Structure 1
Amino acid sequence: ARWAGRGFTSRNDVLECLQGFGLTQSTEFTPLSIRPDAKALYAVEQNLFKYHAACYLIHSSIEAANSLRDKYEFTPADIETINTHVAPGHRSVCDITEPKTGLEVKFSIRHCIAMALSGLDTSDDNAYTDEIASRDDLKALRRKIDVDATALDNRYSAKLNIKLINGLELSTTADVGLPATDLDAQEARLVDKFTRLATPVIGQGRAVTAVNLVRDLENQDNIVTLIKAVE
Structure 2
Amino acid sequence: MQRQPAFANTGSIDNNMAPADAAMLPVEPDHTFDNTTDRTGFTRALADWTSTVDDAELGGPAFAWARHAMLDWIAVTLAAAREPLVEMLVAEYAGLRDLPCALVGSPLRAEPAQAALINGAAGHALDFDDVASAMRGHPTVPVAPAALAVAQVTGASGKELLRALILGHEVESRIGEVVGEEQYRLGLHPTGATGTLGAAAACARLGGLDPVRTAHALGLAATQAAGLKCMFGTMAKPLHAGKAAMNGVIAARLAARGFTANASGIECEQGFGRTQAPAALAFPPTFERRAGMAIERTLFKFHASCYLTHSTIEAVRQACREHRIDLDALESMTIFVSGPHRGVCDIANPQTGLEIKFAIQHLAALAMDGAPTASLALYSPETALAPRYVRARQRIGLQVVPGPDRNAATVEIVTRDGRTLRAEANVAVPADDLAMQWRRLVDKAQAIVVPRIGAAKFAKLVSVVDTLDRLPSVEPLFEAMQ
Alignment-mate amino acid for residue 113 of structure 1 = A
SS at 1:187's partner residue? helix
Say whether the 8 Å CA contact 1:85–1:160 is kept in structure 2: yes
Give the letter for the 2:296 counterpart.
E
Structure number having the greater strand percentage: 1
Pair 1:34-2:289 in alignment: yes
Matches within 5 A, 1:105-116: 105-116=356-367
Deviation at 1:87, TM superposition (A): 2.8
Match of 1:80 in 2: 331
CA distances 1:99-128 after superposition (whole Å, capped 9, x unpaired): 222222121100011111111111112211
Closer, same or farther in 2 for the Cα pair 1:131/1:13, shift >3 Å? Answer: closer
Q: List aligned pairs for 1:49-198, cutoff 5 A.
A: 49-87=300-338, 89-198=340-449
Deviations 1:69-106 (A, max 9, x none): 23333121122221111135212111111222222212
Q: CA deviation at 1:47?
A: 0.6
Aligned residue for 1:91, secondary structure, equals coil
Post-superposition offset of 1:31: 5.6
Distance of 2:396 and 2:305 partners within structure 1: 18
Paired-residue identity, %: 32
> Secondary structure of 2:314's partner?
helix
Indicate the SS of the match to 1:189: helix
Evaluate the alpha carbon distance shift between residue 13 and residue 220 of structure 1 in structure 2; reply closer, same or farther with a 3 A threshold. closer
Contact 1:154 1:177 in 2 (8 A): no
- 1:15 and 2:15 aligned: no
Matching residue's letter, 2:439 = A
Aligned counterparts of 1:221 and 1:161: Cα–Cα separation in 2: 54
SS in 2 for 1:93: coil
- Check 1:224–1:56 CA distance in 2 against 1; reply closer, same or farther (3 A cut): same
Q: Which residue of 1 aligns with 2:121?
A: none
Distance of aligned partners of 1:67 and 1:99 in 2 relative to their CA distance in 1, 3 Å threshold? same
Gaps of 5+ in 1: 1-11
Contact 2:339 2:407 in 1 (8 A): no
C-alpha distance after superposition, 1:118-152 (max 9, x if no partner): 11111112211111111121122212211112233
TM-score normalised by the chain length of structure 2: 0.40
- Paired with 1:129 and 1:13, the residues of 2 have a C-alpha distance of 42
| Superposition CA RMSD, Å | 2.7
Deviations 1:6-26 (A, max 9, x none): xxxxxx99738xxx9324542
Q: Structure 1 residues 13 and 229 mapped into 2: Cα distance closer, same or farther (>3 Å)?
A: closer
Query: How many pairs were matched up?
Result: 213
Q: State the Cα deviation string for residues 135-194 of structure 1 (Å, max 9, x = none).
A: 121122212211112233222221122232334433222223332234344323321221
CA contact (8 A) 2:339 2:405 kept: no
Q: What are the ranges of 5 or more consecutive residues in structure 2 without an aligned counterpart? A: 1-48, 54-208, 216-262, 267-284
CA displacement 1:49-74 (0-9 Å, x = unmatched)? 12222222111111222222233331
The residue type paired with residue 32 of structure 1 is F
Report the equivalent of 2:478: 227
Distance 1:69 1:222, change over 3 A: farther
Task: Provide TM-score, normalisation by structure 1.
Answer: 0.79
The structure-2 alpha-carbon separation of the partners of 1:141 and 1:13, relative to structure 1 and needing over 3 Å to count, comes to closer
